[in-house]
Amino acid sequence: MLIIPDWLFNFCGSISKNKRTSRIELRCLCGCDLFYVFKRKRTPEEELEAYLASQKWEEYWPLTPRIGTGKDGRTAVQWTIFGFVFKEKTLEEMRPKVSSFAYVSAKCSKCDREVVIFDERHHVFDERKHSGINYGELGPIKWSKDAYGIQCKFDYPEDAENGNDFGRVRIIKTAADKKSTVLDFEM
């Protein structure tokens, strides 16, 4: 059974399947197969928050942090030594206040029709969807100067039922027999 993501259905040029991987080459409805690409980068605020969050993880070095269930039944980070829990903080305390997210979109070089190829905010684990993660802003869109052919590879687990159940996505831009990875994201 060939599985493809719902949101890319209208942009599928050639489609192929190898075991549990579907490969799609994008083609616009106008017939063009060259696209400008936008890949979101972290904002300075997200960089700072990521740094501050990493410092929280190193706060009790050389104790080993582990994820466990806290006293209140919520997910917690526990620092242990010889099996004894020395310190415990909730996972929400350890996360950055503003999180970055992976985002890649493409714009047809002929008719300017746009498609969001991947947006991490819509494709995260169920436990993360409802955990109150505060994502940053998308920011200004700056398209690539050159247009590329785009290949998308989606790896599916054995029990995948639809195209939105993938476990890994790879977005590759191609030009003159040269390939370059734009995004390699694993759930």
Residues 6+ apart with CB under 8 A from 99: 46, 49, 133, 134, 135, 136
pLDDT in tens, 40-62: 998 888 888 888 888 887 877 77
Higher pLDDT, 124 or 129: 124
Question: How are beta strands 12-18 and 21-26 bridged, if at all?
Answer: antiparallel
Q: What is the predicted pLDDT for the residue at 96?
A: 80
pLDDT in tens, 52-91: 888 887 877 777 788 888 878 888 888 877 777 778 888 7
Mean pLDDT of 21-34: 91
